[in-house]
Chains A and B, each alone.
Chain A
């Protein structure tokens, strides 16, 4: 179990690094899918199969597909790859990377000093997740529901069809309403 977990974790780290360093957007998104799948495997192994399934369904299956969708609409070609290459200059990334390295070392120190808990393999089934969502974390569920409702209304407003005058002489050039 522990070995499987670490394999998945290493895959997640490598693919996430690849997401950042790829210059072709589609390839970067593909690596992101791999990273999400690896995260799902990790969730599954530490006993959270419900979250693992949601991770694949929502993040890999829906959100990243939408990313790819947007990229397709933008029709990025060779120029975008060149631009990405320019932006990824050595002087651009070395200093942030150095700062992040310090933070990483700190995190490693904190984790290693606080003692580790072995993977128990105890499975939390969907029923338990549902119960805690609707008791302990009820406020969070309600708030995210309101946020989603706001999102839906916003999307409706943006995508609403504008009123159009059918007659060609009555139509005003570039009219909003």
Chain B
């Protein structure tokens, strides 16, 4: 019985912590962007402007929740929930610290990839149910982008699987006791990071919502909390990808023992979240065909070569 209670506590804990982080990231991103662009950012509400999150929440809940009369109503309502659900399900396999993991599956890595591929439906259905040409264009771009970057996102992780001999995330972290996988798998890390940015469709790869050309892309017709769900889903996605980068390539919870493992995990995750925001602050958006040709012509062959070389070295050394 106490075992069940323990798991329930972990599940509730992960849910609460992740949703809080996603909400706080809205403030964090605005402050960081401001810092890098030499302005103040939101600093009026509460200490350091932290209460801005609450103000935004209240505002977004009181906005008119408008459903376009020409939209496919049920799909329109359903679409924003998919991304939040899929990403939150993805957190089920993240090992925060020894023992603090919702489900240590022996297919954890595949499960994460499966959940992140389900997130594509959100963009797709949101765009197509809106019956708006900008939304349709945005979701077409989004779907094509997510599908093509998913391919080598998976392949780039196979090097990690080869080195650690397992799909289980806990085992992958434990295999990095002597050396973080970022050193032998540096190419894999770079490819996974780029694919992660594209998968969460963040700037510079935010072509599905490119506001200068497509109004707001796939969520042009969304307002109120439905838009908020897309927003929260995006920040949850960043957190998930950052947590995954920390787990796969930077030793997860491992670190010198003067800090508890959970703290190490969150420090690493936050470092990558900050990197995501820095990317948005500094890089311009590529053209859509540039994005696609980068993916298929450079990153895919590179990840295949990385996989082959890793496997060959592992075989030669005798694993």
Contacts and interface: CB of A to CB of B under 8 A. Distances in A.
Contacts of A69: 124, 140, 143-144
Given A26-B125, A69-B140, A72-B140, A53 B114 contact: yes
Interface stretch (A8-16, A60-68, A97-105): A60-68
Most buried by B among A52, A65, A66, A68: A65
Interface string B115-140: 10110110011011100000010011
Most buried by A among B121, B144, B154: B121
Given A56-B118, A60-B118, A69-B143, A26 B72 contact: yes
A69 B154 CA distance: 21
Contacts of A73: 140
Given A53-B107, A54-B110, A68-B143, A26 B129 contact: yes
Given A33-B121, A54-B110, A72 B147 contact: no
Nearest to A27: B75
B231 interface: no
Given A68-B143, A72-B128, A53 B72 contact: no
Contacts of B136: 72
Contacts of A33: 121
Contacts of A140: none
A123 interface: yes
A106 interface: no
B118 A61 contact: yes
Given A57-B113, A65-B143, A68-B143, 17 more contacts: A49-B105, A52-B107, A53-B107, A56-B115, A56-B118, A57-B154, A60-B114, A62-B117, A62-B147, A65-B117, A65-B120, A68-B121, A68-B128, A69-B124, A72-B128, A73-B140, A126-B110
Interface of B: 72, 75, 105-107, 110-111, 113-115, 117-118, 120-121, 124-125, 127-129, 136, 139-140, 143-144, 146-147, 150, 154, 167
Interface of A: 24, 26-27, 30, 33, 49-50, 52-54, 56-57, 60-62, 65-66, 68-69, 71-73, 123, 125-126
6 contacts: A57-B114, A61-B150, A66-B147, A68-B121, A68-B143, A126-B107
